[in-house]
Structure 1
Amino acid sequence: MQKLTPFLISSLLIFGVAACDNASKTSESAPSNPNEAPQSPTVQTTQASQQDAQSKVRRDQLNSDIRAREQRNNTTGGDAQRATGDLASEVRSKLEANIPKGQLTVEATKDGIVTVGGTVNNQQELAKIETLSKQIKGVKSVVVKATVNPPKQ
């Protein structure tokens, strides 16, 4: 049992590092990173993303994720310094809940700078990105590399 415990802990750590290596994405079809040139989404992709993001279960998950991270940061006193993974995940959740048709990718730095890339369907959604992102505690500035690219028929 004593040899099994370190093995299990190290396996979890390796899995955690591999899982945290990816950028936060609002949909499976979002680009892999904010600097990647976005592709025009299809109508089916946009509708599938919207249905998923607007389902009651998914919205509850997104809101719960944001609340849990905020509570944890308030409890641990981490208000000033946020983990980049937490920041990216919270911004992604916020954007996914409020811009359900977008295909966005979120990356964050330890300095509180968030970069958002991908596509949205219209100018109004593009304008929401910075405002929504700054609602997350710890976000100091937002670099919006997303473009307006309505779905192709």
Structure 2
Amino acid sequence: MKKLTPFLISTLLVFGVAACDNASKTSESAPNNPNEAPQSPTVQTTEASQKDAQSETRRRQLDSDIRAREQRNNTTGGDADRAKGDLASEVRSKLEANIPKSQITVDATKDGVVTVGGTVNNQQELAKIERLAKEIKGVKSVVVKTTVAPPTR
């Protein structure tokens, strides 16, 4: 039993690290990687993304994430040097809250460089991405690989 417990804990940690290595996505239909060529979403996909982003459950999740980050920033003194997964998650949350119809994937590097890929519905939403991402503490630069792709019928 003494040998089994550390084995089980280490196994869970390995699976957790592998699961957390994915890019942050604003919707299930967003590309898996910001470097993937985006495809025009269907009207149903766009409506489903907006409905999900504006749902009460998603709003509670976003609010909870924001509060947790604020508490962590207050505890650590608001470090600008952040974990890349935390940075990508925070940028994704910010974009999801402000561009609800998007199909966006966010990836971050250790150096504070954030890459955003996927699709948005219009040029105004595309123009918001860099400004919104740079509002997050720790983001030093933003690479926007997102394209405008209005929903197809």
Name the TM tier (shorter chain).
Answer: over 0.9
- More divergent stretch after superposition (67-76 vs 97-106): 67-76
Q: Which runs of 4+ in 1 moved over 3 A?
A: none
The Cα offsets for residues 62-103 of structure 1, whole Å up to 9 and x where unpaired, read as: 121122123224313461310000000111111111111000
Cα distance between partner residues in 1 of 2:69 and 2:11 = 24
Normalising by structure 1, what TM-score? 0.93
Tell me, which stretches of 5 or more residues in structure 2 are unaligned?
Answer: none
Cα distance between partner residues in 1 of 2:8 and 2:73 = 27
Aligned position for 1:29: 29
Do the aligned partners of residues 73 and 19 (structure 1) sit closer, same or farther apart at CA in structure 2, a change above 3 Å counting?
Answer: farther
Q: Give the conservation status (yes or no) of the 8 Å contact 1:63–1:93.
A: no
Task: Kindly provide the amino acid, as one letter, of the partner of residue 49 in structure 2.
Answer: S
Tell me, which stretches of 5 or more residues in structure 1 are unaligned?
Answer: none
Aligned position for 1:58: 58
Q: Give the conservation status (yes or no) of the 8 Å contact 1:118–1:147.
A: yes
User: Cα RMSD (Å) of the superposition?
Assistant: 1.4
Cα distance between partner residues in 1 of 2:80 and 2:93 = 20
The Cα offsets for residues 6-42 of structure 1, whole Å up to 9 and x where unpaired, read as: 1232022112111112111111111111111100000
Q: How many residues align?
A: 153
Aligned position for 2:149: 149
- In the TM superposition, what are the counterparts of 1:2-151 in structure 2 within 5 Å? 2-77=2-77, 79-151=79-151
Do the aligned partners of residues 4 and 76 (structure 1) sit closer, same or farther apart at CA in structure 2, a change above 3 Å counting?
Answer: farther
